[in-house]
Structure 1
Amino acid sequence: MSTDVVLTIAGSDSSGGAGIQADLKTFAAHGCYGASVITALTAQNTLGVQGVHACPPDFVRQQLDSVLDDLQVRAIKTGMLCDAATAKTVVDNLTRRTSSGSLPPIICDPVCVSTSGHTLLKEDAVETLITGLFPISALITPNKSEAELLASRMGSGCETKIDDLESMLEVAKILIKSGCKAVLLKGGHLSTTLHDVQSISAKFPDARVIKQGILGENMEILLAGCAAPIQAETKVVFDLLYQSTGQTTLLVRPRIESSSTHGTGCTLSSAVACELAKGAKSLEDAVASAAMYTHLGILAATAIGQGYGPLNHLHSIQPSLIYPRSLTNPYPFTTLLIQSASETWRQYVEHDFVKQLGRGTLDRANFIHFIKQDYLYLKYYARAYGLLAAKSTSFNTIRSATDTIYNVLHEIGQHKTYCSTFGISEAELEDTPEASATTAYGAYLMDTGDSTKLVMALMACLLGYGEVGLWLKKQSSMKDTWVVLEGNPYKHWVEEYAGEMYQGAVRIGLETMESLAVSESPSEAKLEEWKKVWKRCTMLEKSFWDMAMDLKD
């Protein structure tokens, strides 16, 4: 257990889904030691809150002193403070400690009303939150209703209703005037599409957009296998992080239709506290990690109770660095690899060679040089898959490697036929000297260590060419496209890599990658090794096309 101590100051939930019960589960899931100060006992379940019994304020003070005078607390999360007397007790205690410089970051979840409509913070306590607790908080995390209430009580003198992203940002700017360092305004109760996010991003270009669990650019091969691809009109959930510096961040995720949402606000704020306690690089990083943890908790939840049940707080109790597969992202490991080397991957799959080939303007000499070297490279590629089969200990991996060798042999046959249309004989292919880029890439494949690294190395080629094929095919179908297939001397090449035979091999490769990630459950160090191999091979692929463009030997 980590020695990172996190304190929750909140009410209880007898059904276990929210309040201190949710907080302590979240702390444990993050490897933190949880302490608690209980402000009130509630009788509640998945259907609603049936009763609230406030703890005497003096006893709340005693709990605070007991914890903070003894334990080295790294972060504090506050939730339900119940009434004005309790809120003032908490604020006075924390303010005294803040002035002495002995208090860690405070994450304030301004719990006012339950989702079922039960009042959890009395009217006279709201002012204490705004004037007392917010100014000493590193972050406040209101939902839509809470933000509207708080902004109206701050006497903004303007419309405080949130009905879109822009009004959400305006309310966040009002709340930041309370003196808190940042506002995380949760948008789960707002109906939003990806198009809305794109529009607000265009209007506020300085705002940073972080897409979580949403496939992005240069991922056509992943989108092709997605049962529920994210499109412009797809409903999404987003949270808005607005910091006192003016930095604005939108965190966007696919909306999950689920009734397992009880306690999500408690969980999110607690997860942020944990990330800060563990030394997150920035508040933005802490919030992004916490938001994804909560999202996955909803995704992994099973139905409990007759109403809105809890999310699964312990989905990460056996930590995995790779997200689980979902309808919106069926290939999370491959997504992670592509994102880890996004710039080199883009330079590879959107290379000038590819663009000129799509336009049909690629010089014939460059293409002939490429297909000659590609023929020689495919020998290395097939042999490397033979090595993979030899190094593998499972029949599934052996079968997958064997199937790929078969596909390569098919590709070689097509390659020879295609080369003949450019006047290149089989003898000429065999007699072509290897270019240095070909030798460098081939040698790297043959020298790559264990079977898992070899899979990473081989997939950069398989998936990259599949991506290029689908990208050019997609571009060719667009209005006023720059891709011209009719009359294009390289049309056959595009159709070959966008075709069912090759894309079938891509799907096998994707399944191999995802299965490997699950079975290996890599450590952070192992995952970094895999990322390095993947990035190295995307660079070698780019160099291969550089060689073709420069006619290098």
Structure 2
Amino acid sequence: MSKPVVLTIAGSDPSGGAGIQARDLKTFAAHRCYGASVITALTAQNTTGVQGVHPCPPEFVVQQLDSVFEDLDVRVIKTGMLHSSDITSVVVETLSKHYERIPAIICDPVCVSTSGHTLLDEDGLLVLKTSLIPLSLLITPNKSEAELLLSSVQGEGTKIHDLESMFTGAVRLLDLNPQAVLLKGGHVTVHMKDVIAVQEKFEAEGINLTVVKQNLLGENMEILSAFSDDLSDLELAVDVLVEKADNRRAMFVRPRIDSSSTHGTGCTLSSAIASELANGSHSLTKAVEKATMYTYLAIQSAVPIGEGHGPLNHLHNIRHSLIPHRMPKHLYPFTHMLINSCATSWKEYVEHDFVRQLGQGTLDRARFIHFIKQDYIYLKYYARAYGLLSAKSTSWGAIQSSTQTILNILHEIENHKASCLNFHITEGELDRTPEAAATTAYGAFILDIGLQGDANKLTMALMACLLGYGEVGLWLVKESRLPGTWVVQQDNPYWYWAQEYSGEMYQSAVKIGLETIELMAQADPPNKARLKEWIGVWEKCTRLEKGFWDMAMELKY
């Protein structure tokens, strides 16, 4: 099976950080595309800046283009530094000569280097606007390039200073007649409140907006928020996409990375988008989503090279891992993946009617008593499973962790007994309680997983209970602090339960659980089949947890 061919038309970089030899061809290779290149100019540059530019004769650029188009089936074209009006013109003319229907063009309007070196003259900018951009599927300007293009369109200076002005500028750039504009926000500081404000504004105006959050926590992830940076103060990097078709708009939101390894970031992004489209992505939004994440990880995983702004790690995805790597601002990527993998059943579990009525203090007393009696029985299964996990463990640390969890369960049992006495339920009555089918189903499942699988698979079966109850406790407490909250604390006979699972002791156990599965996934990364098995066990346990609440609400045995 042949690889899709992607062509870059751009300049060189002898330092290997940007240019066609590094930024573009490495990115194409990382995306399993075949990269072809036409050089428009030779540069003298390094990580500290551009020292000189030597343009190719326009007729030689044409000769290169002819050689490529006459032999290769080019699927997508990416343009970068074109240097002059003559070169830009011959690129457009040669494309029109070879194609009735020109392949998708991703135009990165490279005009000025970060060090201030002019990379496209004024006449070249005019040809770019009037001839190449109208042929382009997508243009990908940064803040400075967008402001330059806008000033030439509107005849006056236009400043982009926040998220709203990014969208305004991107929409105005559609007047240059590309099919879409991706305005890169690496030089615009944004916070989550700005994202929310734009969401609310567009919603009020009836504008179709897609918000893609990358390495950010979503709904029903209070346990992850509790041990992560405060999102409200987190500096974000946001790219905005506007498309002519159906007036679609999207923004790609992720934590800002404090890194000096940013040489060629914007060019890498446009090359990654071209690669995603060449590989068959039919949605521009999806292609941009994948490309922005690739670029983000390329910055995150880069090692310092040179005295200035060093290159990205373009080949970070060659060592393919199904589990995202841990990062300072994304500490629990595997747990994040697990929750997202079954977001519906997880939500049905942690926001169950049983939980809501418990938070309101309106839960029928008989249902709560039925629950704590069955939970008392279930915890015996749970403790036995941790004993089995200890037996399967091969390190003192793992044995200690399993043993400590059993001790925590014994503490939880004592709390159960104490709370049961408040409801006039004796320990003898607890021990005589018939076991419900839902209790047997859940308990037998985790023990069966322990018998048939290894320690990692059993760990997956045990985590939904530990993490889910921690999530419920934190969610109820968070909801109780909101203005006009539906949660009732005063005179709520069940509020102690929320306090128990949101309390320091239980949340410490949650943190240990989070660290356990993250370290497990990083130390022994699963293959595709094994990961599917892990996720299947996790998802089954979230459904069994929901079934446990259902059993309590229906008073079933």
Deviation of 1:338 after TM superposition, in Å, equals: 1.1
2:453 is matched with which residue: 442, 450, 455?
Answer: 450
Structure-2 residue corresponding to 1:204: 202
Q: 1:255 to 1:438 in 2, by over 3 A?
A: same
Structure-2 residue corresponding to 1:152: 151
- C-alpha distance in 2, partners of 1:142/1:269? 10
Q: 1:525 to 1:82 in 2, by over 3 A?
A: farther
Deviation of 1:258 after TM superposition, in Å, equals: 2.1
**What is the SS of the residue equivalent to 1:192?**
coil
Larger mean CA deviation between 196-205 and 411-420 belongs to 411-420
Matched to 1:244, the amino acid is: K
Structure-2 residue corresponding to 1:182: 180
Q: 1:306 to 1:528 in 2, by over 3 A?
A: same
Structure-1 residue corresponding to 2:281: 280
Kindly indicate whether residue 535 of structure 2 is the aligned counterpart of residue 534 of structure 1: no
- C-alpha distance in 1, partners of 2:56/2:498? 71
Matched to 2:216, the amino acid is: I
Structure-2 residue corresponding to 1:221: 223
Deviation of 1:250 after TM superposition, in Å, equals: 0.7
Kindly indicate whether residue 193 of structure 2 is the aligned counterpart of residue 195 of structure 1: yes
Structure-1 residue corresponding to 2:403: 402
- Cα deviation code 1:46-92 (max 9, x no counterpart): 22111000111122122222223223333221111111111112112
Matched to 2:214, the amino acid is: Q
Deviation of 1:202 after TM superposition, in Å, equals: 0.4
- C-alpha distance in 2, partners of 1:131/1:526? 53
Q: 1:450 to 1:276 in 2, by over 3 A?
A: farther
Matched to 2:413, the amino acid is: I
Deviation of 1:248 after TM superposition, in Å, equals: 0.5
- C-alpha distance in 2, partners of 1:201/1:304? 39
Kindly indicate whether residue 133 of structure 2 is the aligned counterpart of residue 112 of structure 1: no
Structure-1 residue corresponding to 2:429: 428
- C-alpha distance in 1, partners of 2:196/2:427? 51
- C-alpha distance in 2, partners of 1:528/1:178? 46
Structure-1 residue corresponding to 2:242: 242
Q: 1:110 to 1:508 in 2, by over 3 A?
A: same
Q: Are 1:210 and 1:252, in contact at CA under 8 Å, matched by a contact in 2?
A: yes
Runs of 4+ residues over 6 Å off in structure 1: none
TM-score (norm: length of structure 1): 0.94
- Cα deviation code 1:248-294 (max 9, x no counterpart): 00111111222221110111111111212222252111111111111
CA-atom RMSD, angstroms? 2.0
Q: Are 1:385 and 1:404, in contact at CA under 8 Å, matched by a contact in 2?
A: yes
Q: 1:244 to 1:527 in 2, by over 3 A?
A: farther
- C-alpha distance in 1, partners of 2:492/2:189? 45
Structure-2 residue corresponding to 1:336: 337
Kindly indicate whether residue 14 of structure 2 is the aligned counterpart of residue 10 of structure 1: no
- C-alpha distance in 2, partners of 1:496/1:403? 18
- C-alpha distance in 2, partners of 1:450/1:503? 28
For residues 367-378 of structure 1, the aligned pairs below 5 Å read 367-378=368-379
Q: 1:395 to 1:3 in 2, by over 3 A?
A: farther
Deviation of 1:28 after TM superposition, in Å, equals: 2.4
- C-alpha distance in 2, partners of 1:2/1:113? 37
- C-alpha distance in 2, partners of 1:277/1:450? 41
1:512 is matched with which residue: 512, 516, 519?
Answer: 516
Q: Are 1:95 and 1:136, in contact at CA under 8 Å, matched by a contact in 2?
A: no
**What is the SS of the residue equivalent to 1:8?**
strand
- C-alpha distance in 1, partners of 2:4/2:521? 29
Gaps of 5+ in 2: none
Deviation of 1:374 after TM superposition, in Å, equals: 0.9
Structure-1 residue corresponding to 2:231: 230
Structure-1 residue corresponding to 2:493: 489
Q: 1:66 to 1:395 in 2, by over 3 A?
A: farther
- C-alpha distance in 2, partners of 1:278/1:310? 25
- C-alpha distance in 2, partners of 1:96/1:522? 50
Structure-2 residue corresponding to 1:168: 166
- C-alpha distance in 1, partners of 2:89/2:255? 39
Structure-1 residue corresponding to 2:90: 89
Matched to 1:112, the amino acid is: C
**What is the SS of the residue equivalent to 2:158?**
coil
TM-score (norm: length of structure 2): 0.93
Structure-2 residue corresponding to 1:32: 33
Q: Are 1:192 and 1:235, in contact at CA under 8 Å, matched by a contact in 2?
A: yes
- C-alpha distance in 1, partners of 2:329/2:530? 26
- Cα deviation code 1:529-552 (max 9, x no counterpart): 322322222122112112211212
Deviation of 1:479 after TM superposition, in Å, equals: 4.3
Matched to 1:198, the amino acid is: I
- Cα deviation code 1:403-442 (max 9, x no counterpart): 2222222222222222222122222222222222222222
Q: 1:382 to 1:72 in 2, by over 3 A?
A: farther
Q: Are 1:2 and 1:31, in contact at CA under 8 Å, matched by a contact in 2?
A: no
Matched to 1:372, the amino acid is: K
For residues 339-354 of structure 1, the aligned pairs below 5 Å read 339-354=340-355
Matched to 2:220, the amino acid is: N
Aligned identity (percent) is 62
Kindly indicate whether residue 470 of structure 2 is the aligned counterpart of residue 466 of structure 1: yes
Matched to 1:186, the amino acid is: K
Gaps of 5+ in 1: none
- Cα deviation code 1:429-462 (max 9, x no counterpart): 2222222222222232223342333222211111
Q: 1:391 to 1:65 in 2, by over 3 A?
A: farther
Matched to 2:361, the amino acid is: G
**What is the SS of the residue equivalent to 2:231?**
coil
**What is the SS of the residue equivalent to 1:204?**
helix
